[in-house]
Amino acid sequence: MDFGYARVSTVGQDLELQRDFLTAEGVPAERQFFDHGFSGKNLDRTGLQTVLAAAREGDKIIVPKMDRFARNAEDTLRELRGLTERGVAFQFGKTVYDPGDPFSKLFLTFLAAIAEAEGGWISLRTQEAMARPSVRAKLKGRQPALTPKQDAAIARHLAENEFTAGEIATMFHISRASVYRAADRHRHRVGDREQVAGTS
């Protein structure tokens, strides 16, 4: 069976083009896995770990681009060695990785190194932008995208185990990290109100 994986590093980015690519490659929607709001540097992503665990001998994992899989060359090569040992094929873009072909291995290693370098360049550009006073001033005034009522609802869902963090993230169109931040904000608000009530 073919499995597909795609990733966007921010919640606001669109997965549509990556979905279209996986569908065009013959991957059915139920075997397409995604991660929203995760950096390629971190392999601890729900969608990625799910597709890696789901694939069995004779299956193939397809990603639209190498940097969607990972942005760390060492991690990429280690994961692909594991897939090869399990008999799972790997396709990036239109290219199917052949571990027995030295040129294929060289090409993949080259692309993995470029993906890692691109991640570093993005980080440097971000640091340079943050060094500008005008950019820092804009970010300083940013407010959470969720309302206090939404924070309260998320905290309640987590506390009552009604849904998983991933399901809540999908419901509110946010990342898993944002789910926990929203719950923390709600707990702080409740704590502040109780503190004020105790001193009045």
Predicted confidence at residue 121, as pLDDT, reads 47
The pLDDT, as a whole number, for residue 101 is 74
Say yes or no: 19 and 84 in one domain. yes
When divided into structural domains, the chain yields a total of 2
CATH number of the structural domain spanning residue 28 = 3.40.50.1390
Domain membership of residue 22 (yes or no) is yes
pLDDT in tens, 38-85: 766 678 888 999 999 999 999 999 999 888 888 777 788 888 889 999
Q: Are 43 and 112 in the same domain? A: yes
How many other CB atoms sit within 10 Å of the CB of residue 92? Answer: 23
pLDDT, residue 80, reads 86
C-alpha distances out from residue 145 to 9, 124, 130, 178, 182, Å? 17, 26, 21, 10, 10
Residue 9 is a catalytic residue = yes
Q: Is residue 168 part of a domain?
A: yes
Look at residue 107 and give its three-state secondary structure: helix
Residues 6+ positions from 43 with CB-CB distance below 8 Å: 49, 70, 72, 75, 79
Confidence at residue 107, expressed as pLDDT on a 0 to 100 scale? 67
Check whether residue 159 and residue 112 sit in a common domain.
no
Looking at 9, 104, 134, 178, which residue is catalytic?
9
Low-confidence ranges of the chain (pLDDT < 50): 121
- Expressed as residue numbers, the domain containing 164 is 148-199
